[in-house]
Structure formats: structure tokens, C-alpha cells
Amino acid sequence: MLVVAIVGGLTAVYAAIIGVAQNDIKKVLAYSTVSQLGYMFLAAGAGAYAAAIFHVFTHAFFKACLFLGSGSVIHAMGGEQDMRKMGGLKKHMPTTYWTFLVATLALAGIPIFAGFFSKDEILAKAFGAGVGNLGGYANVYYVLWGLGVAGAFLTAFYMFRAVYMTFHGEFRGTEEQAHHLHESPASMTVPLVLL
């Protein structure tokens, strides 16, 4: 169990660090998924099986919304995935923006959103595993709790970076891309709203 928790904690932080360095919107989300899987294994290794399954469930909804939102952005950008060539899309894609932002708040673990409850439960159980472990491994669980907290902060950082680079500031794409910017059709935005 301890090995599973260690692998999960290290994976959560390592993948989050890689996510910070990505400029491709889909790669940010892909490394985020790896990081969240690390969180789930951290929970399982700490004996918090229900919390791990709860995070699988909450994560499925907000990550699906984020991937579909990134698809909406890529559609509007004519296939461009590099966030360095985006910016200012909020005014052109309000539905995509607001749904992407809400899903980001959930993934970042902001209170009242689903991700907060599942991440909080995982962190509480990891810390509790340290408190309840009198076999000499208590300090390891405290370190794992610290890795979980670090992973949560890194997640918030790379996701709000993605929101800012994609939707805020000035548009950094080509003139042709700027001319074709538009909100996606209802077939793409309705699933975003539902998620």
C-alpha cells in the first residue's frame, strides 16, 4: 500500500510539473490527466478507496468538459493547438470560455466545485494515514500529503495559465485565424454546458 501511495504521489507532482511546461492545449490536459491518476493512486495507497473512486467520477466530468472545450477552441482556431498563438478568445467564444473556466475551477479544487470535495477527501485520508500509522511510516504519509498539496497548487497554476493564454489578453494568431474566430455550433457547446 505504501509503495502504491508513493508512486501515486510522485506521479501527481511529476506529471503536474510537465503540464506546467506545455504549450499545446491538449498536452496540458493530457498531463493533467496523468497527474490526477497519480492522485487516485495516492488515495488508494493511503487506504482511501472511496475517495479514489469519487475522484475518478468527478474527474471524468470536468476533464471531459475541458477536452471538449479544447476541441471547441481548436475548431475555432482552424486546427491550431499552440496556446502561444491564441489569446483573447473570450469575446469570440463566451460559452466555451465559461464552461472551460468552470471545469478549470473544479479541476483546481476550488471550494463548492466537485474537484474540491474529492481532492480534499484524498488529502485528508493521506494525512490521516500518517496520524494512524504507528509502524514507523507516519512521516512518509506526511510527505505524501505534502506532495498532494503541491500537486494541487501546480494543477491550479497550469490550468489558470491555460485559461489566460487561451482566452485572455490579445489574440496572437494569424489574420486568417482572427477572421474566422467564432463560437462553436450547438452540437459542440450543448455538451459543454451539460458537463
Mean pLDDT of the chain: 92
What is the predicted pLDDT for the residue at 133? Answer: 62
How confident is the model over 67-81, as pLDDT tens digits? 999 999 999 999 999
Per the CB < 8 A criterion, the answer to whether 169 and 85 are in contact is no
The pLDDT tens digits for 2-45 are 899 999 999 999 999 999 999 999 999 999 999 999 999 999 99
Q: Which of 148, 99, 110, 151 is nearest to 126 (CA)?
A: 148
Question: What is the band of 127 on the pLDDT scale with cuts at 50, 70, 90?
Answer: confident
Contact residues for 133 (Cβ-Cβ < 8 A; gap 6+) = 141
